[in-house]
Amino acid sequence: MPYDWGLPIAASTFAADIDRLYYMILVITGIAFVIVEVAIVWFLIKYRARPGRKAYYTHGSAKAEVIWTAVPAVVVVGLGILSASVWSHIRGRDSVPPNALPIALEAKQFEWNATYPGADGELGTGDDFTMRNLLQIPVNQPVVVHLTSEDVIHSFFVPEFRVKHDAVPGMEARVWFEATMTGEFSIACAELCGLGHYRMAARVVVQDQAEYDQWLAEQAANQTVASR
């Protein structure tokens, strides 16, 4: 995948929302950045010390200060409100789509174990099966990951999905997302978790629903064979 000097490709439904927010903040902070840096350079040149000139003696201007207090305040509160709506869509209470496919993902030093619900679509039943370091999901189907950790804190991170959530031992987090393109991505651990932190990678494989169903059936068959 070529590197395009920005965010990685967006491969989930809310990735676009996050990216839009990112670019909006980039533009706003970019403007502030240019204003300040240009002013610094301009003042340094224009008001450099020259013989016979004394600085303008002033202690400030209440009007100017009110302006540069109020404008940033309005802008950041506006950004906060915009962020809040995206945030509640992603993480808010009841934000997990009801039809989401549950997959349990347990992190441990230094691997990811994904438990799939099997044919009945429910976790905790007899047809569940577990894959090491492989998260296989259907495209255009919300998935809710039941995220746990066996030992220390890890962090479930898939850059292309704009998904990141800590896996904290003793807690279960529900992390949902919906992939919008098929292909292979990486799960990375984003929280320092010990010696093998740097190689705690896993594959995410996104397939068409049909392919996924077929894979599921194969796995189910394997499971039955194994259990006999």
Q: Which two tokens stand for residue 139?
A: 């495209």
Residue 202 within binding range of another protein, rule CB under 8 A: no
Cβ proximity to another protein, 80 vs 124, nearer residue: 80
Residue 60 within binding range of another protein, rule CB under 8 A: yes
Interface mask (CB under 8 A) for another protein, residues 111-150, using x and -? ----------------------------------------
Residue 63 within binding range of another protein, rule CB under 8 A: no
Sign of dihedral through CA atoms 35, 37, 38, 44?
positive
Cα–Cα distance for residue pair 107/116, rounded to 1 Å: 15
Please state the closest distance from residue 200 (CB atom) to another protein, in A: 9
Residue 225 within binding range of another protein, rule CB under 8 A: no
Please state the closest distance from residue 209 (CB atom) to another protein, in A: 25
Please state the closest distance from residue 197 (CB atom) to another protein, in A: 6
Q: DSSP label at 10?
A: P
Residue 47 within binding range of another protein, rule CB under 8 A: yes
Cα–Cα distance for residue pair 9/2, rounded to 1 Å: 10
Which of 6, 214, 217, 218 lies at the binding interface for another protein (CB under 8 A)? 6
Which of 173, 180, 205, 211 lies at the binding interface for another protein (CB under 8 A)? 173
Which of 127, 164, 180, 211 lies at the binding interface for another protein (CB under 8 A)? 164
Cα–Cα distance for residue pair 8/4, rounded to 1 Å: 8
Residue type, 125: T
Angle, CA 117 vertex, CA 111 and CA 119 arms, to 5°: 135
Residue 68 within binding range of another protein, rule CB under 8 A: yes
How many Cβ atoms sit within 10 Å of the Cβ of residue 14?
19
Cα–Cα distance for residue pair 128/223, rounded to 1 Å: 9
How many Cβ atoms sit within 10 Å of the Cβ of residue 191?
18
Which of 50, 63, 132, 228 lies at the binding interface for another protein (CB under 8 A)? 50
Cβ proximity to another protein, 57 vs 210, nearer residue: 57
Cα–Cα distance for residue pair 96/108, rounded to 1 Å: 25
Reduced to 3 states (helix: H, G, I; strand: E, B; else coil), residue 42 is: helix
Which of 103, 104, 112, 191 lies at the binding interface for another protein (CB under 8 A)? 191
Separation in Å, CA 79 to CA 6, 10, 72, 158: 21, 22, 10, 25
Please state the closest distance from residue 4 (CB atom) to another protein, in A: 9
Residue 99 within binding range of another protein, rule CB under 8 A: no
Q: How many residues bind another protein (CB under 8 A)?
A: 90
